Amino acid sequence: MPGMDEDVPSGAPPHQQGILSSDAASSSSSLSTLARNATAKPSLLLTGLSKALANPYHHTTSPLGIINLGTAENHLCFPELLEKFNSPEIRITTPDMLTYGNTYGSAPLLASIADLFNEFLRPCQAVVPADLTVHAGCGATISNVAQALTDPGDGILIPCPFYGGFDFDLTLYAQAKLVHVETSSHDNFLITPKACETAYANAVAAGTRVRVLLLTNPSNPTGLAMGPSEILSLLEWAKGRNLHVVSDEIYALSTWSNKNPFVSVLALPTLPDPQRTHVVWSFSKDFGSNGIRVGVFFSRDRQLLKAMHMFSILTNTSSLADRACANLLSDRKWVAWYVEENKKRMRESFEKTATALKRMRVPYIEPDSGFFVFVNLSRWIAPVGDASTTSHGPPSESAGWRGLWNRLIDAGIYILPGEAFSCRQPGFFRIVHTLNWDVVRLGLERLERVLDEVEVETASSHLKDMSVELFDMQKFHS
């Protein structure tokens, strides 16, 4: 996780203060370059999270605490997931679970994930256990694949906006360089080969060797799933540049819109470069269990899989998590029920959120997947902070979004600004809606209150400006 130097909450739980504070600063001269790099860069994700954790909302013990609609979690099927994970047939502990297992996943887990992929990702060519490796979460999986495919300083093309954790996952150990591919809200953040080519050519001209294109489908933070022709055009472009493509499909089973069904790269009738097309996935999102730490890598490149086996020695999941997930997936009837029910609940929570946003006249990108909605609050930004922000150029530290963000946190609602996802257009924020509806509703009410206050302040400052102008005109005429 990225370290952070700012805004360390005094009230954060002790176990979090260790991660979130820069208490190593006094002895930084004795740290390695890697450790200094890890702690040097402030992370918006962690800055905000530390504020939210310093005073978390609880309906009885801390009703004025901060409501966290910033962290991408899905609680909608917690009761059923807990019942399943706590059931005796899943929790069964055998002696082999107390010994070292296969570091890249037990045979039953790999077999059950292959079955899951074959049933839900609908690959054209069946996935077999030998195509898969398991690591401690998607973040560790992505870090490992970056280490396997890049040398320090090599480039990884990544369309913006993207999940902010990649900044860390791709750089901490692999020391890869993120090469941003620009997209725009005007065409729903469509990723085009042309934009990839521009980013690629600029990176190469600057002396960077680009090795990988990292796609996230469906997208975090927009919640948009890519269409098959969009994916194919990017795969074809990447083949022309001899690039590996890693498709992060961590929200594959969380596409709940009937309008735009999710299509995995594995489901395309022909893959332009099958040996260089890889997929990552994890239990974190689709099985609402960020804490379980089971991430999956798929590839048909045997050499790459061999490297992933080696990296898994230091990033393996625990035997307990391995067994629990294998047992859970082996109940295929339950999994089929769960996937549909989970989608239904996500669709309903989005619809309720969308109704509230429409009432508030907050524009948003219409998602078809995921736990969140990417809203455009630019109308409320300029009056709060520095109005100098434009819709072009890099996100600025002094941009007005920070004023609104801090004001929202002070009002007890934590959401993430687009800048945490390297979104170039200021004013976007990501709101997570897949929590208890009473909590989401209260969070949205707090958001509405702040936006209303900003509108009133803007109107009264306009009135003040107008009366000063009127006064000046009267003076001029008198």
Ligand X SMILES: Cc1ncc(COP(=O)(O)O)c(C=O)c1O
Is the Cβ of residue 163 or residue 364 nearer to ligand X in the bound state? 163
Is the Cβ of residue 72 or residue 404 nearer to ligand X in the bound state? 72
Decide: is 147 part of the binding site for ligand X (CB under 6 A). Answer: no
Binding test (CB under 6 A) with ligand X, winner from 57, 104, 117, 163: 163
Binding test (CB under 6 A) with ligand X, winner from 52, 81, 109, 138: 138
Binding test (CB under 6 A) with ligand X, winner from 9, 48, 101, 165: 165
In which region does residue 421 sit, left (phi positive, over 0), alpha (psi from -120 to 50) or beta (all else)?
A: alpha
Q: Which of residues 258-317 bind ligand X (CB under 6 A)?
A: 282, 284, 290, 295
Are residues 134 and 282 in contact, defined by beta-carbon separation less than 8 angstroms?
Answer: no
For residue 71, the minimal CB distance to ligand X (Å) is 8
For residue 246, the minimal CB distance to ligand X (Å) is 10
For residue 255, the minimal CB distance to ligand X (Å) is 14
Is the Cβ of residue 2 or residue 165 nearer to ligand X in the bound state? 165
Binding test (CB under 6 A) with ligand X, winner from 131, 154, 167, 248: 248
Is the Cβ of residue 147 or residue 282 nearer to ligand X in the bound state? 282
Q: Which of residues 74-93 bind ligand X (CB under 6 A)?
A: none
For residue 448, the minimal CB distance to ligand X (Å) is 26
For residue 163, the minimal CB distance to ligand X (Å) is 4
Sign of CA dihedral 109, 110, 113, 115: negative
For residue 223, the minimal CB distance to ligand X (Å) is 11
Decide: is 43 part of the binding site for ligand X (CB under 6 A). Answer: no
Are residues 250 and 138 in contact, defined by beta-carbon separation less than 8 angstroms?
Answer: yes
Nearest Cα residue to 72 out of 191, 246, 219, 256: 219
Is the Cβ of residue 154 or residue 169 nearer to ligand X in the bound state? 169
Tokens of 33: 């370059």
Is the Cβ of residue 282 or residue 319 nearer to ligand X in the bound state? 282
Q: Judged by CB under 6 A, how many residues of this single chain contact ligand X?
A: 14
Is the Cβ of residue 74 or residue 378 nearer to ligand X in the bound state? 74
For residue 400, the minimal CB distance to ligand X (Å) is 26
How many other C-beta atoms can be found within 10 angstroms of the C-beta atom of residue 197?
15
Q: Which of residues 118-137 bind ligand X (CB under 6 A)?
A: 137
Q: Annotate each residue in 204-243 with x if it binds ligand X (CB under 6 A) or - if it does not, as one string.
A: ------------x---x-----------------------
Are residues 43 and 308 in contact, defined by beta-carbon separation less than 8 angstroms?
Answer: no
For residue 378, the minimal CB distance to ligand X (Å) is 24
For residue 288, the minimal CB distance to ligand X (Å) is 11
Is the Cβ of residue 68 or residue 378 nearer to ligand X in the bound state? 68
Q: Annotate each residue in 57-76 with x if it binds ligand X (CB under 6 A) or - if it does not, as one string.
A: ---------------x----
How many other C-beta atoms can be found within 10 angstroms of the C-beta atom of residue 324?
25
Is the Cβ of residue 116 or residue 381 nearer to ligand X in the bound state? 116
For residue 115, the minimal CB distance to ligand X (Å) is 20
For residue 149, the minimal CB distance to ligand X (Å) is 17
Is the Cβ of residue 109 or residue 454 nearer to ligand X in the bound state? 109
Is the Cβ of residue 138 or residue 234 nearer to ligand X in the bound state? 138
Nearest Cα residue to 281 out of 259, 257, 258, 265: 265
Binding test (CB under 6 A) with ligand X, winner from 66, 191, 195, 250: 250
For residue 53, the minimal CB distance to ligand X (Å) is 17
Tokens of 13: 């739980």
Interacting residues toward ligand X by CB under 6 A: 72, 137-139, 163, 165, 216, 220, 248, 250, 282, 284, 290, 295
